[in-house]
Structure 1
Amino acid sequence: MSLKFSVGDLTIHRIIEQETTFLPALDMLPGLTPEVLAENRAWMQESKALDPQDTLILCFQSYVIKTPHHTILVDSCIGNDKPRPQRPKWNMKTDDTYLRGLGAAGFAVEDIDFVMCTHLHVDHVGWNTRLENGRWVPTFPKARYVFGKQEFDYWTEQNAKADVAPFVDSVLPVVEAKRHEVVGNDHQIGDHVRILPTPGHTPGHIAVTMGRGKDDAVFSGDLMHSPIQALYPEMSVKFDVDQAAAATTRRSFLERYCDTDTLCCTAHFPSPSVGKIRRKGSGFVCAAL
C-alpha cells in the first residue's frame, strides 16, 4: 500500500487514521438502487470499497505535502478525546495511530506550516486540536490554519443556533489561539497552493490544488466519498447539504481533471486513495497509479 507519492516538485504523504466499514451503501447513497449496487458489487468488493454485507469501506486520512517552500497538511481527520456519541469508532478515541503515522512519514507536529481544511466536518478537523491539561490547544503549534470564509461563516452561523461539537472543540480553540486565517477563494500560498471552490457537500466546501503553474495534484475532500460516485457522478451522499449542487460540482470536477496528469488525492476512497481521473462510459474512474 502506497503512502508516499511524488509529482512535479511535490512530495505527498498519506497519514491514515482509520480504514474501516462506515455505513450501508444503500443508506449512504440515497440515489443508489439495489439493481445498480448488484451491477457494481464485484468490482467494489475487489477494490475494497465494499464489504460482503454491502457496507461501504472508507479511509479517513490526512495528506501532508512538501512543496519547495512549505509543509502543508490537508484535512486533519478524526482526532482523540473528542465526544462523538453518534460514531462509536470516533467517540473519545485515545489511540496513537495518527501521530504515529505522522512520525513514520518523517514529520513532527512542529514541522507543519499550514493546516488547510476542505470543509469543517467532524472527520476533517479532529486533529486541529488536542487535549492538554483539560483545554483544547492547536495540535500543530507553529501552523497557520486556513479556513475558507464561506465555510467558516456557515458553521459560525450554525453554531450560534446550537452548539456544533466539532466547531466548538476543533475550530474555535484555534481561533482563540489566533492561529487561523479566514480566506477567500482567490487565496494562494506561495506559488504552489490554490483554492478551487467545490460547493455542495457543504456551502463553502473547497478542493485544494497544488503545483507550480499547473495542478500537479488536487485534494478533493468530500466532493466524493466512494469510487462508485466517480462512475455515477450524479449520485450524492446523504450528508451533502445540497445534493443537486454536489452532483453538478462532482461532474464538473471530474471533467476538469479527466485525462490529465493531475493526481487526484481523495479523502475517503479505499487505499491507495490516489489516482488519475479517466473516462469510463458516461462516468469516470480514479485509476490507481
Structure 2
Amino acid sequence: MPPLLQGANEKSKGFELSTQSITLGNVEITRVVEWSGPILTAQFIIPDSDEETWRRNEDWLAPDFWTPADDAYRCHVQSWVLRSEGKTIVVDTGIGNDRERPQVPQFAGLQTNFLARLRNAGVEPEEVDYVVNTHIHYDHVGWNTQWENGQWVPTFPNATYLIPQDDNRYFDPEGSQRRRPPRDQHERVRWEGSRLVFNDSIAPIHQAGQSLLWENSHRIDGNLLLEAAPGHTPGSSVLSLRSGTDRAVFVGDMLHSPVQVLGPDWNSCFCDDLRLAAQTRRTYLSRAAEQRELVIPAHWPGHSAAEVKKDGNGFAIAAWSSFPRN
C-alpha cells in the first residue's frame, strides 16, 4: 500500500463517522461524513473497469473501497469544510434529510445528524461564508436547504452559494429541452430525480437571493480557485487550493473510485459526456502528478485523498493523505 503523506498537521475530533482536519499551507481542511456504506456493485458504478484490475489490486482496494465477496462499491458521502483567509467554505453538501430520491431509494427520506457533525467540527450554519457545489447532483447539493415551516429554506443563511452556470442551465426543469434523450429506464429515473433535486435544493437558493452563478473560473480568495471541469456533468468543476508550497484539488465526482486512477478512461455510470469526462480526468490527474497536488474526491472512504504519479499510460497512488482511515 502507498505510504501516508508526511508533514500535514492533523487533529482528530473523535465523533461518530469521525471528523478530522489537516492543514495545507494556511488552509485548514476538515472532513465531515454524512453517510458511509455500500452502493450497488463496483462493476455497475464503474462499468468500463475490468475485474482483473480490481482483483490485482485487492490488497489496497479492499475493504475501504470494495468488498470482493459481493463486488460491493463502498463510498462516503461527505463535505469538506475549508477555513481560508478568515472565511468558512463548505464544499458540497451531501444528500440532506427528508428528500424524495427515486434514483437512489436508500437515500429517500434519509435522516442523519449531519448538522450536529458540522457543529462538532466547530461550524455553525450561520458562520458559513461560501457553499461550493462542484456540480448539481443529489449527493452534492442536499444540505443546501432544509425543511422549515412547510418550505425548503437555505441551511446556511449568510452564505453565498457558488453554483456552476452550465449545470444550472442543464438541470433547471424549465430548460429540459437542452438535455439529450435518456439512454435507458435507469437514466429516466435519474432524470426525474434531478428535477426533484433542482426544486428542493437549488431553486430555493435562487429564490433567497443567495446564489452566485459562475462560468469558466471563479476566484474565492488568494488560496482557492474554482475551475470548470466538464464531462461528469456539463458544469462539473474542481476547486484548486494553492497556499505556500502546498497544493490540492477537490475533484468532486471526477473519481468515484481510486480504480479510476489506474484506468483514467473508465467513467462512472453517472457521467454524462463519456468522452469529455475521460479527457477531463486525464487532464487533472496529469496536473496533479506534475504539481504534487493532493487529489480530494467527494466519495472516497479510507484516507479519502491521495497524491498520484504517472504510471505508464495511466497513473498510480503515490501516497495517501494523512486523514485517518474512516
Report TM bin, short chain: over 0.9
Aligned counterpart in structure 2 of residue 64 of structure 1, from 68, 81, 89: 81
1:142 to 158, 171, 184: 158
Query: Match of 1:126?
Result: 142
Which residue identity does 1:86 align to in structure 2?
Q
Deviations 1:243-286 (A, max 9, x none): 12111111110000105342221101112212222234432234
Deviations 1:172-223 (A, max 9, x none): 0010011111112232122222122211100111001123477732110011
Work out the CA distance in 1 between the residues paired with 2:281 and 2:171: 22
Which deviates the most, 268-277 or 143-152? 268-277
Task: Identify which of 220, 223, 228 aligns with 2:251.
Answer: 220
Equivalent residues in 2 for 1:109-188 (5 A)? 109-156=125-172, 160=176, 164-188=195-219
Question: Partner of 1:187: helix, strand, or coil?
Answer: strand
- Give the 3-state SS of the residue equivalent to 1:37 in structure 2: helix
Between the aligned residues of both structures, percent identity stands at 35
Cα drift, residue 32 of structure 1: 1.8
Matched, 1:36 2:67: no
Tell me whether 66-75 or 30-39 shows the greater mean CA deviation.
Answer: 30-39
Counterpart of 1:256 in 2: which secondary structure? helix
Give me the whole-angstrom Cα distance separating, in 2, the residues matched to 1:173 and 1:90. 21
Shift of 1:242: 1.0
CA distance in 2: counterparts of 1:213 and 1:95, whole angstroms: 37
| Structure 1 residues 159 and 283, CA gap change in structure 2 (3 angstroms) | same
Normalized against structure 1, the TM-score is what?
A: 0.93
Runs (4+) off by over 6 Å: none
Q: CA deviation at 1:125?
A: 0.2
CA distance in 2, matches of 1:158, 1:193: 32
What SS does the aligned partner of 1:236 have? coil
Q: Which residue of 2 aligns with 1:288?
A: 320
TM-score (norm 2): 0.83
Q: Secondary structure, in 3 states, of the residue corresponding to 1:220?
A: strand
Q: Deviations over 1:149-189 (max 9, x none)?
A: 11211112576467711111000001001111111223212
Distance in 2 of aligned mates of 1:157 and 1:89: 24
Q: 1:91 to 1:232 in 2, by over 3 A?
A: same
Quick one: structure 1 residues 264 and 24, their matched pair in 2 at CA, closer, same or farther if it must change by over 3 Å? Answer: same
| Of 12-21 and 254-263, the range deviating more from structure 2 | 254-263
Q: Does 1:90 align with 2:107?
A: yes
**Which residue identity does 1:181 align to in structure 2?**
L
User: Residues 100-147 of structure 1: CA distance to partner in whole angstroms, max 9, x if unpaired?
Assistant: 211111111011100011100000000000000110000000000011
Instruction: Describe the shift of the 1:158–1:245 C-alpha distance in structure 2 as closer, same or farther (beyond 3 A).
Output: farther
Does 1:232 pair with 2:257?
no
Does 2:281 match 1:277? Answer: no
Local SS of the residue matching 1:79: coil
SS at match of 1:5: strand
Question: In structure 2, what is the Cα distance between the partners aligned to 1:159 and 1:28?
Answer: 28
- Alignment equivalent of 1:197, drawn from 212, 223, 228: 228
Matched to 2:237, the amino acid is I
Residue segments in structure 1 that go unaligned for 5+ positions in a row? none
Cα distance change on mapping 1:255 and 1:131 into 2, 3 Å: same
SS in 1 for 2:213: strand
Equivalent position to 1:13, from 6, 25, 30: 30
Give the Cα separation in 1 of the matches to 2:102 and 2:271. Answer: 21
Matches within 5 A, 1:223-262: 223-262=254-293
Asked if 1 retains the 8 angstrom alpha-carbon contact of 2:19 and 2:33, the reply is no
Q: Structure 1 counterpart of 2:167, which letter? A: E
Q: Distance in 1 between matches of 2:99 and 2:211?
A: 21
